């Protein structure tokens, strides 16, 4: 009989798997690499312009939203390719909708960036 692992060991393992997934995403996805670069740039900009705590919170939220939707988009693409490797109209729609979610997050993240930085630059 298999020994039942404690709740804590299970949670730690889950964090490990999630970390592995995030690392895989950063290593394999070109768009996430670009997003990591943008994250570094806006973090430097945040310190440079000495943005407020609320602005930091909004910036972190925008970054997290874009990266999280990108991760979900990648997972959906992988599932779609796995279950139906051939070309299919429905797969196309599924992938387009998933990509659309990333676009929406990125669009509003850009607006947040504009609201924070444009008044400081102009
Ligand atoms: N199996 C398929 N059947 C129908 N259309 C597809 C299929 N695979 C891809 N497409 C179309 O091509 C587009 C790009 O798909 P792809 O899987 O190459 O994603 P991508 O945007 O290049 O992914 P990445 O996030 O890795 O850059 C999809 O949004 C969809 O419109």
Structure ipTM over 0.90, yes or no: no
- Which domains are assigned to the chain? 34-121 (1.10.287.3610)
pLDDT digits (tens, 9 = 90+) for 67-119: 999 999 999 999 999 999 999 999 999 999 999 999 999 999 999 999 999 99
Task: Calculate helix-pair angle for 30-48, 53-83, nearest 10 degrees.
Answer: 180
Please spell the DSSP secondary structure of 6-73, one letter per residue. Answer: PHHHHHHHHHHHHHHHHHHHHHH-HHHHHHHHHHHHHHHHHHHTT--HHHHHHHHHHHHHHHHHHHHH
70 tagged catalytic? yes
Q: Given 32, 63, 66, 70, which residue is catalytic?
A: 70
Index of the ligand 1 atom closest to the CA of residue 95: 29
Q: How much is the pTM?
A: 0.88
């Amino acid at each position: 009989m298999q020994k039942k692992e404690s709740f804590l060991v299970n949670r730690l393992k889950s964090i490990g798997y999630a970390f592995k997934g995030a690392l895989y995403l950063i290593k394999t996805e070109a768009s996430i690499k670009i997003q990591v670069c943008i994250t570094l740039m806006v973090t430097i900009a945040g310190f440079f312009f000495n943005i407020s705590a609320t602005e930091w919170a909004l910036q972190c939220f925008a970054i997290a939203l874009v990266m999280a939707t990108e991760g979900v988009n990648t997972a959906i693409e992988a599932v779609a390719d796995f279950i139906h490797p051939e070309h299919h109209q429905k797969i196309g729609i599924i992938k387009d909708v998933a990509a659309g979610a990333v676009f929406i997050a990125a669009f509003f993240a850009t607006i947040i960036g504009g609201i924070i930085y444009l008044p400081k630059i102009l």
